[in-house]
Amino acid sequence: MPDHDVLIVGAGPVGLLLACVLVQEGLHVVVCERRVEADTRTRAIGIHRPGLDALDAAGVGAAVRAEALRLEGGEVRSRRRTLATLTFAPDRPVLILPQPRTAALLRDRLQALSADSLRLGYAVRGFRQTADAVHVAAETPDGPRELSAAVVVVADGVRGRLRPDLDAGWRRRPGRASYAMLDVVDAAPGEQAVLHCEPDGLVESFPLPGGHRRWVVREAGGGLRTADAFRAAIEKRTGISVAVGPGVVPTSFVAEQHRATRFHRGRVVLLGDAAHEISPIGGQGMNLGWMDAARLAAELARALPERMPDLTGFERRVRRSAARAQRRSGFYMSMGAPAAIPVVRGRELLMRGLGAPPLRGWTAGLLTMRGL
């Protein structure tokens, strides 16, 4: 008999949510996380309706709502003109809460449900499958150790080391660009997101809880490695002067899209960013991982511990949702690419049309992950 029903590799937001739901279902779960300290990097901030439903299932939805900022809507601008204004419907809210805080709420929830489920400093090095279990080799604070589980879920992120062991493939999908990001103090950030789709490249602006605002700038022809370069790019493209504190350095990142060619092999399942990389431009990746986690939890809870679940339907739904999300993110990235003025004019016509009354509700639904 295996030691655990489910072993989860990775204590990010997706792995933690899956663990919370499974423990609530009465399964014996362990989460192996190689880090000892929590990851404090600020990355994903947007929580959409599907993600909020999954957070409710994990028991932290109310806490997230209490701390998050709720976006009223957004504007799309180009060349100093507003092209479209969208309002997010009450039944499809967009909440803003930095990923470290969301992860902390999930971590606290898991420890309240099962104090010994989270194992920090456990670096999984490999696994081998037998007829009724997966045997996992891990480096722990107390030395090498082997654990076993009926099912292993790999949720260790885009750059996780275990995907190659599954021979799962990693296929590039359309959409790739470089960006710089910075969170700045803003005494009155408001409740509107603003997207500037400029000839020199995208500039995004999102309010954050606690009197801050996040700026994201597409790099075009050169890096934005300093606060001065970052501030100058925003002002040149939008006419907006952003106050950046001394010593603040922008974070540069490359937005890419990939998808595994298979999402499970035997008793080992890929989940979240380990299964599909979605461009953060569009804010779907973390929410899609939570959707996948909720779907997987339902399959595992129905079957374990008596039998191995049939994951064929799960894989089909994950593949379909990931493909749709990547197509949407690829489109969003194309709207913010540097472009010649004739192309920009065509984009502006398209964005005006998408924001006009006949299509406005459909566009808002698209941006809030309807249909995934």
The answer to whether residue 372 sits within a structural domain is: no
Same domain, 155 and 192: no
The answer to whether residue 89 sits within a structural domain is: no
The token duo for 60 is 């932290």
The pLDDT tens digits along the chain (372 residues) read 899 999 999 999 999 999 999 999 999 999 999 999 888 877 899 999 999 999 999 999 999 999 999 999 999 999 999 999 999 999 999 999 999 999 999 999 999 999 999 999 999 999 999 999 999 999 999 999 999 999 999 999 999 999 998 999 999 999 999 999 999 999 888 899 999 999 999 999 999 999 999 999 999 877 798 999 999 999 999 999 999 877 889 999 999 999 999 999 999 999 999 999 999 888 899 999 999 999 999 999 999 999 999 999 999 999 999 999 999 999 999 999 999 999 999 999 999 999 999 999 999 999 999 998
The answer to whether residue 88 sits within a structural domain is: no
Same domain, 54 and 191: no
Distance of CA 56 to the CA centre of its chain: 17
Same domain, 169 and 262: yes
Per the structure, how many domains does the chain have?
A: 2
- Residues 184-215 pLDDT 10s: 999 888 899 999 999 999 999 999 999 999 99
Same domain, 152 and 288: yes
The answer to whether residue 199 sits within a structural domain is: yes
The answer to whether residue 113 sits within a structural domain is: yes
SS3 93: coil
- Residues 108-145 pLDDT 10s: 999 999 999 999 999 999 999 999 999 999 999 999 99
Residues 68 and 95: beta-carbon distance below 8 Å: yes
Model pLDDT, residue 322: 96
| Tokens 């890096």, residue located | 223
DSSP 202-214: EEEEEEETTTEEE
The answer to whether residue 86 sits within a structural domain is: no
Q: Which residue, 168, 152, 163, is CA-closest to 308?
A: 152
Same domain, 39 and 102: yes
Q: What is the value of pTM for the model shown?
A: 0.96
Q: What's the CATH number where 359 sits?
A: 3.30.70.2450
Q: Cα–Cα distances in Å, from 59 out to 46, 91, 205, 263?
A: 18, 19, 30, 27
Q: Could you tell me whether strands 123-129 and 81-87 are parallel, antiparallel, or unpaired per DSSP bridges?
A: unpaired
Same domain, 139 and 60: yes
Backbone angles phi and psi of 185, in degrees to 5: -70, 135
The answer to whether residue 76 sits within a structural domain is: no
Q: Which residue, 244, 270, 90, is CA-closest to 170?
A: 270
Q: Which residues pair with 177 in a beta bridge?
A: 255
Percent of the chain with pLDDT over 70: 100
Model pLDDT, residue 223: 79
The answer to whether residue 78 sits within a structural domain is: no
Same domain, 218 and 274: no
Same domain, 101 and 247: no
Same domain, 320 and 212: no
Q: What's the CATH number where 312 sits?
A: 3.50.50.60
Tell me the C-alpha distance between 296 and 271, whole Å: 9
Same domain, 47 and 98: yes
End-to-end CA distance of the chain: 37
The token duo for 39 is 């990851």
Tell me the C-alpha distance between 65 and 305, whole Å: 34
- Residues 207-231 pLDDT 10s: 999 999 999 999 987 779 899 999 9
Same domain, 215 and 128: no
302 lies in which domain range? 4-71+94-174+257-333
Listed in sequence order, the residues at least 6 apart from 36 whose beta carbon sits closer than 8 Å to its beta carbon are 120, 121, 141
Model pLDDT, residue 364: 93
Same domain, 211 and 245: yes
H-only helix segments in the chain:
13-24, 49-58, 61-67, 99-113, 227-238, 285-303, 312-335, 341-355, 357-367
Model pLDDT, residue 80: 96
